[in-house]
Structure 1
């Protein structure tokens, strides 16, 4: 098998809201049957009609995407690297919706692996180990980088086109937030990206929402920092100094801004 074939990523059709038992690995790619394969981990341009009225976001690199995406997914190759030294092993896939420009699939996968493998993250407490696997490997959850409309399909519930979410074995990252974070967050884009990956993955690991423990203190990573900090300062880690950091259980009744259009 050639090197190109070994690094192939699968393009899958979006099949609506996915359902999978949280306690069992998903036996096959969760978004639907494999319909084709791409030789390298690079974006496939969608049809011209799908590229009308792209949304442009200010970011470190120009990321553009339609509000309603292609509904097809590129799954990146897996990695032999296992993050964490002890605890239950959780395997995850990474998929990007085609038609998102300015996000290199290999670079995105490396960024996600770096965040989930950071010792300040979920592996820091010794309860979890995390490994990215390929599209055909058994996995416990899939991390999607999705356009706002596909976010709504994958997340279920009330559509908002704005937030990211976890729904069953879907960990859904809204590309609008990956590109532009949120107004007034008070930290660099890199920090917000660390937060959104860690927060949504935390839900898959059984974590619920938490509240700010006091003005000026770091926000718990499970606080809904996308919607408001409530006096806390941004923090993307559950073990920011090597020790567990959390706030009181609960969530605020913050309004969700209108989705990107």
Structure 2
């Protein structure tokens, strides 16, 4: 009896196991499966990491010695047609003195060209057009960004502070380009436009002028670097489409001390 009962117990266990296998043998067991992989594109895409943006040179990072090397790097030529609708084509080159760091010849040239091509600049009078040419090409003038010492070597008079035009050289003192002048009352970019138009104006035969009316804009040919004399800062010869002038003449303004360089 005991062996028959034992046999029935074994038989019942076998039947139960077979039934369980028949019912659950094909059911997946998720506890033992790996988590699904992300799609291939998502898996291969790198995480987005913010990249530092390239920063153009600003006056705060332009440095220069008091005395430069007197050698130059010239900007590439401009490929566009001359700026202006009518008038004599004035070809010019742009150069930056070696030793001035933080600004390239091409970067400086773009600012010069943008200023001269502005409709408020000298082309508005329809007497001149401007075209920037490349290194070694024939030019009517050269716009030079120079150290204070080289400015003195190129200009008629050594003050190390102002900019000048002497012959075919339009000399922009890098000290003024970077620092501007005290009490100008306008952003540095406005002063930079002024000094370009003022010195190029000399190359076009323009002479110094005085403030025509207190509270009004200064003529671009006024020596705004040394004083405004009641006028307000103005970088354009044709600020409203008309030539803005004052009486011929200048003021007996003192020139500030020469610049000693900036490192």
TM-score range normalised by the length of the shorter chain: 0.7 to 0.9
Q: What residue in structure 2 maps to residue 180 of structure 1?
A: 179
Deviations 1:76-102 (A, max 9, x none): 111122110100010001010011111
Structure 1 residue aligned with 2:139 = 139
SS of 2:60's equivalent in the other structure is coil
Distance 1:131 1:95 in 2: 15
Aligned residue in 1 for 2:104: 104
1:104, 1:137 → 2: CA distance? Answer: 19
1:191 aligned residue:
190
2:152 aligned partner: 152
Deviation at 1:137, TM superposition (A): 1.2
- 1:197-255 CA distance string (max 9 Å, x none): 00000000000000000110000000000000000000000100111111111111111
Aligned to 2:37: none
Larger Rg: 2
Pairwise CA distance, 1:105: 2.1
Matched with 1:119 is 119
TM-score (norm 1): 0.76
Counterpart in the other structure of 1:243:
242
Length, aligned pairs only: 202
Name the counterpart of 2:69: 70
Alpha-carbon distance between aligned partners in 2 of 1:161 and 1:197, rounded to the nearest angstrom: 17
Structure 1, unpaired ranges of 5+: 1-58
TM-score w.r.t. structure 2 length?
0.75
Instruction: Give how far 1:60 is off.
Output: 4.5
How far the C-alpha of 1:70 sits from its partner, in A, is: 1.4
Q: What SS does the aligned partner of 1:192 have?
A: helix
> Match for residue 228 of structure 2?
229
Q: Distance in 2 between matches of 1:103 and 1:238?
A: 27
Task: Indicate if the aligned counterparts of 2:84 and 2:117 stay in contact, CA closer than 8 A.
Answer: yes
**Whole-angstrom distance in 1 between the partners of 2:143 and 2:180:** 18
Deviations 1:144-164 (A, max 9, x none): 0000000000113x2000000
Shift of 1:103: 1.2
Say which SS state the counterpart of residue 96 (structure 1) adopts.
Answer: strand
The structure where helix makes up a greater share of residues is 2
Write the mapping of 1:7-156 to structure 2, written as runs, cut at 5 A.
Answer: 60-81=59-80, 82-156=82-156
* Moved beyond 4 Å, runs of 4+: none
Higher-strand-fraction structure: 1
Distance 1:60 1:172, change over 3 A: closer
Q: What RMSD, in angstroms, separates the aligned Cα atoms of the two structures?
A: 0.9
